[in-house]
Amino acid sequence: MREILYLEIPTPDTASVRNWLQTDFKPANGEKVLTPEGFRLRTPAGTTNASEAIPEKLPSELSVFVWSVQRTTYLKVFRWADQPFPGEGQILQRLATEIRSRFPHHYPEPPAIDLSQQSIFAALSSVYPLTVKYFQKMPNGEYDLKRAYWWEQRWREGVRNPQQPRQVVFSHNRSTEKNFPPSPSSSPTYDIIYIGGALGVIHAAVMAKLGYKVLLLERMPFGRMNREWNISRDEIQSLVNLGLATPAELETIIAREYKDGFNKFFDANNPSKLRSPVLHTPTVLNLGLDSEKWLQMCGQKLQAAGGEISDETEFIRANIDKSQVIVTVKHLPSQTEKQVSGRLLVDAMGSASPIAWQLNGGRAFDSVCPTVGAVIEGGFESGVWDSQYGDVLYSHGDISRGRQLIWELFPGADEELTIYLFHYHEVNLENPGSLLEMYEDFFTILPEYRRCDMDKLVWKKPTFGYIPGHFSIDSSDRTVAFDRLIAIGDAASLQSPLVFTGFGSLVRNLERLTTLLDTALKHDLLSFQHLNQIRAYQSNVSVTWLFSKGMMVPTGKFLPPQRINAMLNTFFGLLVDEPLEVADNFIKDRCDWLTFNRLALKAARKNPTLLLWIWELAGPRDLLRWLGNYFNFGRHALISALLSKWFPRLLNRIKPWLEPRYPGLWLRLLTINYAIASGKPRSRNQVVKATPPTLIQKSEARILN
């Protein structure tokens, strides 16, 4: 018996597909014999039927059947003989064509609702019944579901109006602009105003400890999180280096440190050479943080250093002139507007940021990971999961309704588990990506992923968000700044191309961003030209975007269902055979030029069709863009090799003379130095040493040396 066709049919209504196969599909020849899940197609001369025993010598028949997993329908056709069935090719082509026409891709979106007339639960119950059911079981579930709905609407608005995004940043010349809002004072009240209290408060606390007067604006009640954070010990060390936390304080926010993380992709439908064992990554995302406790700690440190927090306050607009930025905000409980002024505005609003959409027009984000999940306090049966282990990347099925779904699981305090479901997605006008549709998937297929009784689980809170990405050819390819305005975190597409951890990427680059921003503020280098240099671009990260591109199903396109899992297993199978530090460096954005090329060549030898698959997914335009990335990666590697030994020492010697005389040039050279130093791989025996808290001047000196 031989498999001759495998299709993904993008609908959860398997019964309708089965009924269509049995009643509407008319093969060109052969006799249909109905079976419980499809039909058998046999030659008219055959005498067997569905109820008879199959003889030892198989007749010339085709078996067509469907099944459901991941809220998706799949179809396979098997041939029961060595020789092709009469007209087999035409039958398969006709079946594929007609079933695609009858069950095309469909990209549903949340309905428009009026919450003044009904609750969010009542408004969505008919469309997302399981989502409503389980959000009702969560503390603050109504508020959180409203938040998820709001975030999806905001994301869709940005995607569908890329060329004319809503203008929220205005530049004015006070001498000619009559309608410029009056300044709250003759000089800026704050040095820095942050919008966004998740990733924003981490950076804000560091800058406040350096002596800057900081205001943090947060739309939600401060300290509330819709995402959990995981990181590793070597990455979190930068928080100690910058003096934001002591080693003892960090231990209090670590909810769990697990022994090992697993990476495994479904391979039941892959040929044997494209199957791979589990990839173990014990030092990747193996610290589960108590994110709300960490935010509260950062908030306390911010306020202790003289900073201020204004929560439940929504950003409306920013007006910028030569001396300051005036921010108009609305206090949501009272619905009153006010204005605050500062020297610099920092956008940390993430993917919902209207500033990011305005600054980058049609290319604010090239990709996104719609991510949903929950923190579960208990309810799993004993033996379902050992809390000493985590799932870093895992799939339990093939392409599902045009998406390759991937799970993450991280142990937390006591019996807590944080579970995510996400997929890599190319931003598309017709198909922006849906959080609520993903949540309906999550609550339906969680028992397929981890054996459980959904009604026995104890739900603590949901976790969700859009994690964006941008495929930059070079360091100037994306706008992250305006005069007196700069973006950080997800708003700047600061993320890892593989695991898409915006938190990890920010923490890894925290010293770099802080040192450069401190230099700009000290010398009042707050124009677009200077601030746009302050970014965490890495050429080794930009070249790996093709990897994440290979996990995105183009909108409206049908791929062989097993295709993306085959690609993932090809590459992760190579990492299994490598020393542990190779996978660790790759996932943490530390892959060097030689290692990247060596792995790419090994992948091409192992699976020569990989290049064709990438061509089909990326297309000629994106492959040309990637070649620009690749050549830039090689150029950067060469420059780094030539400069890394002597350039930092030179900067250290000339700093006392150069910085006060030519601060703009000093900022540029410091930016180059960071670009040379960033993304360096770590050896297996490299030990991260805890250092005492330092101010930015000591951190800068350490980097230069």
pLDDT at 585: 84
- Please work out, in degrees rounded to the nearest 5, the angle formed at the alpha carbon of residue 369 by the alpha carbons of 271 and 133: 100
Q: Give how far the C-alpha of residue 454 lies from the chain's centroid of Cα atoms, to the nearest Å.
A: 26
Q: Is residue 588's pLDDT more than 60? A: yes
**Comparing 224-233, 268-277, 318-327, which segment has the lowest mean pLDDT?**
224-233
- Assign 681 a pLDDT band (cuts: 50, 70, 90): low
Residues 224 and 679: beta-carbon distance below 8 Å: no
In order, the DSSP letters of 328-374 are EEEETTTTEEEEEEEEEEEE--GGG-HHHHHHHGGGS-SEEEEEEEE
At which residue do the structure tokens 């950062």 appear?
298
Question: Which domains are seen in the chain, by residue range?
Answer: 2-102 (3.30.310.50), 169-363+470-704 (3.50.50.60)
Taking only the tens place, the pLDDT of each residue in 150-165 is 999 988 988 887 667 7
Average pLDDT of the chain, as a whole number = 86
Is 550 buried (19+), middle (13-18) or exposed (0-12) by CB count in 10 A? buried
Among residues 511, 493, 508, 497, the alpha carbon closest in space to that of 700 is found at 511
pLDDT at 363: 63
Q: Is residue 98's pLDDT more than 80? A: yes
Q: Is residue 703's pLDDT more than 70? A: no
DSSP state of 326: E
Q: Is 572 helix (H, G, I), strand (E, B) or coil?
A: helix
At which residue do the structure tokens 């799932």 appear?
391
Share of the chain above pLDDT 90, in %: 55
Quote the pTM value.
0.87
Among residues 506, 499, 508, 678, the alpha carbon closest in space to that of 583 is found at 499
- Assign 21 a pLDDT band (cuts: 50, 70, 90): very high
Share of the chain above pLDDT 70, in %: 87
Q: Give how far the C-alpha of residue 348 lies from the chain's centroid of Cα atoms, to the nearest Å.
A: 16
Taking only the tens place, the pLDDT of each residue in 197-223 is 888 899 999 999 999 999 999 988 888
DSSP state of 207: H
Structure tokens at 114: 């009026």
CB atoms within 10 A of CB 410: 28
CB atoms within 10 A of CB 90: 12
Structure tokens at 650: 């030179």
Q: Is residue 45's pLDDT more than 60? A: no
Q: Is 481 helix (H, G, I), strand (E, B) or coil?
A: strand
Structure tokens at 457: 């689980």
**Which residues, at least 6 apart from 699, have a Cβ–Cβ distance to it below 8 Å?**
241, 242, 511, 514, 515
Taking only the tens place, the pLDDT of each residue in 389-424 is 999 999 999 999 999 999 999 999 888 999 999 999
Q: Residue 439: what are its φ and ψ, rounded to 5°? A: -65, -40
